[in-house]
Chains A and B, each alone.
Chain A
Amino acid sequence: MKQPERLSVLKTYKLFVGGKFPRSESGRVYEVTTAKGQWLANAPLASRKDARDAVVAARKAFGGWSGATAYNRGQILYRVAEMLEGRRDQFVAEVTDGEGLSKAKATAQVDAAIDRWVWYAGWSDKTAQIAGSANPVAGPYFNLSSPEPTGVVALLAPQESSFLGLVSVIAPAIVTGNTAVVVASQKSPLPALSLAEVLATSDLPGGVVNILSGRTAEISAPLAAHQDVNAIDLAGADEALAKELEIAAADNLKRVLRPQAVDWVADPGTTRLLAFLETKTVWHPMGA
């Protein structure tokens, strides 16, 4: 007798908010297709209320995450790389489908992304050395400046590089102690939604990274105007949207990282690492 063909089990992709995997509050989904237009999956179409919930979760997580030792944060980022390594094939498949790359190119992208976690993990206890300073002052004081995390950061992930670009915006923001609300690439959000599953199993406290999928313009507008978001990275916004968001972000003086042409494969440098830091300066009497 011929065995009946097995029906594959399709995955329900969900948002990642506060360490949990909710569906969109709006109940909406949208179709995600391959670069050639073939249906891949339904992804949640997040609404502004999901964005609001994500900000609340990120704010709640901020105290614990920014208060953790740099060493501990570095370990956790390294752990993310470890967990990704075990799921390389899944991400290679998702990147291949979503971005229409060859398997070899997609593998290179995923490997680079895993290495990037390790690279940024190493930075966790080294940012103070490059962004801080001991300042000479005219008086008997030690005058020390040290970098502190800005707070809740909204990250619009790059639209084209759906995985390497995504990792390249998340890792530098959180390694310094910020918490993040990420808007995944609108066209290919699946690697981002799968990354959430990795983050959830990497000792990363719930709420440190929150991932939303949907229409970038719809989700980013309330985030840019939100009074409880301290900074926004506009990597995934086109020129017109970026301008609009920057105006909205000016209201509570958010730090804004403007979109720029980035080669995600190249050495990332410290731009993104240092973009979401505040400098705290303390004066301490020298004593006798």
Chain B
Amino acid sequence: MPTTVPAYGKEAAERLASMADVTADDRALRRFLHGLPGVDAVGLQARAATLGTRSIKTTAKAYAIDLAISMIDLTTLEGADTPGKVRSLCAKGINPDPTDRTAPQVAAICVYGDMVATAKEALKGSGIHVAAVATAFPSGRAALPVKLADTRDAVAAGADEIDMVIDRGAFLSGRYLGVFEEIRQVKDACVREDGTAAHLKVIFETGELQTYDNVRRASWLAMLAGADFIKTSTGKVAVNATPPVTLVLLEAVRDFRAAVGVQVGVKPAGGIRTSKDAIKYLVMVNETLGGEWLSPDWFRFGASSLLNDLLMQRQKLSTGRYSGPDYVTVD
């Protein structure tokens, strides 16, 4: 097995170049993606369910809660977002529990592109990243130049991370190379003027991909195209992140590292609302990928209401009393 390098950075590009033969043309890419082993749906669901039964208590639970808080991409993606709302969310991200300064800060604040400058200003000096959704989020239904402009705009405004959506229509109709090229071009658009680049998260919207096989193919496709993170969902459709789907992503990342030697991050998003759920995901990460991924650099939760539940659990652990929604912010 080759040594592992992170997905961002020069070495990763060289490693990906070694896979150039499978991405040379549409037929080669299709042959490769359809040659991936099929997903055993029953086995997958059983495995995900089994990993969800682990009992995490006391000090391990306290550690898991703090880790989960530090992994949150605190998200507000509403048509009704105002600069004031984004600023208050940023303040919450910096200092999640005003009554307990030991609570860790979140990993990033995730907003629409036009709110990046506001968020950047509010987060100055905190070290929290600003993630912007781009490429005609959430549907992805726009022409490529529009998507690229969307991306460049967010990067120019100071976004540290770009969450792009793939063109599900193209993917489902089998135009894999089109999806591949689009991710490549968005990745290029993430490069800043000084040569550094915003990290790229690729959203599959797994709820629209129909099968686990498709999710596995999309994962490999995005990783081959240079994704730094792969992300399940936008949070805007009926079916969002589920443990089995996330497990497919985690396994793809594990296999990709074994094959190519590039480390890619994973972000389940949407529908994760309770501490219990979050801890189940952490168990799954640890069992599938190992402790290396148990860091905000490699695993994130896309969530908004999850943070309040984690804080209430944290208060329960520190005081011994059940907490309530009166003791966390309303957002």
Q: Are B327 and A227 closer than 8 Å at their CB atoms?
A: yes
Which of A225, A228, A229, A251 is B325 in contact with, Cβ under 8 Å? A228
Type the 1/0 row for B12-52, where 1 means its CB is closer than 8 Å to any CB of A.
00000000000000000000000000000000000000000
Closest A residue to B323 using CB positions: A227
Question: Is there a chain A Cβ closer than 8 Å to B326's Cβ?
Answer: yes
Question: Is there a chain B Cβ closer than 8 Å to A55's Cβ?
Answer: yes
**Interface hub of A59, A227, A229 (most chain B Cβ within 10 A):** A227
CB neighbours (8 Å) of A59 from chain B are: 324-325
The CA-CA distance from A229 to B325 in the complex, in Å, is 11
CB neighbours (8 Å) of A226 from chain B are: 321-322, 324
Q: Taking chain B's interface residues, is the majority helix, strand, or loop, or is none over half, making it mixed?
A: loop
Closest B residue to A48 using CB positions: B322
Question: Is there a chain B Cβ closer than 8 Å to A272's Cβ?
Answer: no
Question: Is there a chain B Cβ closer than 8 Å to A222's Cβ?
Answer: yes
The CA-CA distance from A160 to B326 in the complex, in Å, is 35
Q: Which of A153-195 contact B (CB under 8 A)?
A: none
The CA-CA distance from A227 to B324 in the complex, in Å, is 5
Type the 1/0 row for B310-331, where 1 means its CB is closer than 8 Å to any CB of A.
0000010000111111110000
Closest CB in chain B relative to A130 CB, distance in Å: 29
- Count of chain A residues near B, Cβ 8 A: 10
The CA-CA distance from A228 to B308 in the complex, in Å, is 14
Q: Are A225 and B324 closer than 8 Å at their CB atoms?
A: no
Question: Is there a chain B Cβ closer than 8 Å to A52's Cβ?
Answer: yes
Q: Are B320 and A225 closer than 8 Å at their CB atoms?
A: yes
The CA-CA distance from A228 to B312 in the complex, in Å, is 11
Q: Are A228 and B320 closer than 8 Å at their CB atoms?
A: no
Closest CB in chain B relative to A55 CB, distance in Å: 7
Q: Are B325 and A55 closer than 8 Å at their CB atoms?
A: no
Closest B residue to A248 using CB positions: B321
Closest CB in chain A relative to B27 CB, distance in Å: 54
Closest A residue to B324 using CB positions: A228
The CA-CA distance from A227 to B327 in the complex, in Å, is 8
Type the 1/0 row for B284-327, where 1 means its CB is closer than 8 Å to any CB of A.
00000000000000000000000000000001000011111111
Type the 1/0 row for B200-242, where 1 means its CB is closer than 8 Å to any CB of A.
0000000000000000000000000000000000000000000
CB neighbours (8 Å) of A222 from chain B are: 321-322
Type the 1/0 row for A17-50, where 1 means its CB is closer than 8 Å to any CB of B.
0000000000000000000000000000000000
**Interface hub of B315, B323, B324 (most chain A Cβ within 10 A):** B324
The CA-CA distance from A229 to B315 in the complex, in Å, is 16
Closest CB in chain A relative to B179 CB, distance in Å: 42
The CA-CA distance from A227 to B328 in the complex, in Å, is 12
The CA-CA distance from A238 to B317 in the complex, in Å, is 29
CB neighbours (8 Å) of A228 from chain B are: 322-326
The CA-CA distance from A225 to B316 in the complex, in Å, is 11
Which of A55, A225, A227, A251 is B326 in contact with, Cβ under 8 Å? A227
Type the 1/0 row for B60-77, where 1 means its CB is closer than 8 Å to any CB of A.
000000000000000000
**Interface hub of A52, A226, A228, A229 (most chain B Cβ within 10 A):** A228
CB neighbours (8 Å) of B321 from chain A are: 222, 225-227, 251
Q: Are B322 and A52 closer than 8 Å at their CB atoms?
A: yes
**Interface hub of B320, B321, B323, B325 (most chain A Cβ within 10 A):** B321
The CA-CA distance from A228 to B323 in the complex, in Å, is 6
Closest CB in chain A relative to B99 CB, distance in Å: 11
CB neighbours (8 Å) of B325 from chain A are: 59, 228
CB neighbours (8 Å) of A229 from chain B are: 324
The CA-CA distance from A243 to B325 in the complex, in Å, is 27
Closest CB in chain B relative to A221 CB, distance in Å: 10
Closest A residue to B321 using CB positions: A225
**Interface hub of B315, B321, B322, B325 (most chain A Cβ within 10 A):** B322
The CA-CA distance from A21 to B3 in the complex, in Å, is 54
CB neighbours (8 Å) of B322 from chain A are: 52, 55, 222, 225-228
Closest CB in chain A relative to B273 CB, distance in Å: 12
Closest B residue to A49 using CB positions: B322
Type the 1/0 row for B237-262, where 1 means its CB is closer than 8 Å to any CB of A.
00000000000000000000000000
Closest CB in chain A relative to B313 CB, distance in Å: 11
Closest CB in chain B relative to A246 CB, distance in Å: 15
Q: Which of A68-108 contact B (CB under 8 A)?
A: none
Closest B residue to A225 using CB positions: B321
20 contacts between A and B (CB under 8 A): A52-B322, A55-B322, A55-B324, A59-B324, A59-B325, A222-B321, A225-B320, A225-B321, A225-B322, A226-B321, A226-B324, A227-B326, A227-B327, A228-B322, A228-B323, A228-B324, A228-B325, A228-B326, A229-B324, A251-B321
**A-B CB proximity, top 4 nearest:** A228-B324, A225-B321, A226-B322, A227-B324
Binding site for B on A (CB under 8 A): 52, 55, 59, 222, 225-229, 251
